[in-house]
Amino acid sequence: MKTRSICFLSLLLIFISCGKEKFYVSGNITNASDSTLYWENMSLNGAIAIDSTKLDADGAFSFHGSKPEAPEFYRLRIGQQIINIAVDSTENITIKADYPTMSAQYEVEGSEECGRIKELALRQMALQSQIYAIAQDPSLNSERVADSITNVLAIYKENIKNNYIFNDPKRASAYFALFQTVALGYQNALVFNPRTNESDVKVFAAVATSWDTYYPDAERGLNLHNIAIEGMKNVRILQARNSQSIDPNKITEAGVIDIALTDNKGNIRRLTDLKGKVVLLDFHLFASSGSTERIMNMRNIYNKFHDQGLEIYQVSVDPDEHFWKTQTAALPWISVRDAAGIDSPLITQYNLQDIPTYFLITRENVLHKRDVQIKDLESEIKSLL
């Protein structure tokens, strides 16, 4: 009887595995007869070989896997020639290439994200060629070489930020863009440096916030979150050392992108100063229709939970400062205004698709959920208090 149960369980597991939704990657890589094509998962710990095939004259290949819960990354590789693949659904991705130029010259169908990743790969190659040409230019001394490379990198980063990351940070291509590298001298360096560059930390934080929201259980999202937090801490330590006015030991980590804006009483209010409280972070436009009703509902929530440890940190994007002050004069919670309005960097950093939008933040200053993930706001607040 025990043997039969084990056999039945094994068959059940096989049936469940076979029933999972799958994605497929297939195509042809010509001029690679007798070469081994490797199918590898680009895990957080590096490339992991999953499968391989020996190509024949027509170069046909086919690989597949289970549909991922969040965007996942793979690559096709022959020797040092690589094609990067992103998978975020049950896709049928077709690749056509010619060896040995497959890294730079290939066709991809069936995946918009893989198309964007191809664009990023080609831009990265062009950037590397620019850097190499500058470094080899005999008319430039070492100082001018360094300045020229810095300028080229700055232009590249601005392009990638605006066109591949900030416009939709939850996409696989936005994540992929964060980890592009270039060879500088004898070392490979990240294009976006999340360790000591404050602007680059914000880029990582924007993607981390989006992944926290849309893929809350993804290991990659958690890793991004940790990178962003560590980067924020490193930047603050460097700033403290440079100014010699802040004790680095007093710098704390936060799981949110900090906000520091002036409230309706003229005081600077920082979001991270509310650590220890459950925070309802609300982005609002008082000039919008439905504002009055929404504010009344928030009053009820504030009155019910404020004494238990809830605080509301409300960010207005109203263009008229006087109007905003009039509307918030009698509100009991923290009311701040971003003078940049809908052009505020916070819009992209918090991946705001609509206004109004709210987030819940835990007592540890960690982003918990946004409105689209919350079915019952009061129950969610109670669970955090």
Dist CA 9 CA 328 (whole Å) = 62
Compute and round to an integer the Cα radius of gyration of the chain.
25
State the Cα angle at 364 between 360 and 369, rounded to 5°. Answer: 25
21 Cβ partners below 8 Å, 6+ apart?
Answer: 66, 67, 90
Amino acid symbol at 288: S
Tokens of 207: 């993607």
Taking residue 212's Cβ as centre, other Cβ atoms within 10 Å add up to 25
Dist CA 70 CA 185 (whole Å) = 36
- Regions of the chain short of the pLDDT cut 50: 1-17, 244-253
315 Cβ partners below 8 Å, 6+ apart?
Answer: 259, 261, 281, 282, 283, 284, 336, 337, 338, 346
- pLDDT for 250 equals 42
- pLDDT for 13 equals 43
Q: What is the DSSP letter of 163?
A: I
- pLDDT for 6 equals 42
Tokens of 253: 């980590």
Cβ 75 vs Cβ 42: under 8 Å: yes
- pLDDT for 145 equals 86
Of 223, 248, 222, the C-alpha closest to 233 is 248
- pLDDT for 167 equals 87
Dist CA 64 CA 40 (whole Å) = 11
Cβ 171 vs Cβ 160: under 8 Å: no
Establish how many alpha carbons lie within 13 A of residue 372's alpha carbon, considering only the half-sphere containing its beta carbon: 13
Cβ 364 vs Cβ 255: under 8 Å: yes
Token pair 């008319």 is at which residue?
Answer: 139
Query: What residues are paired with 381 via a beta bridge?
Result: none
Pair type for strands 60-66 and 46-54: unpaired
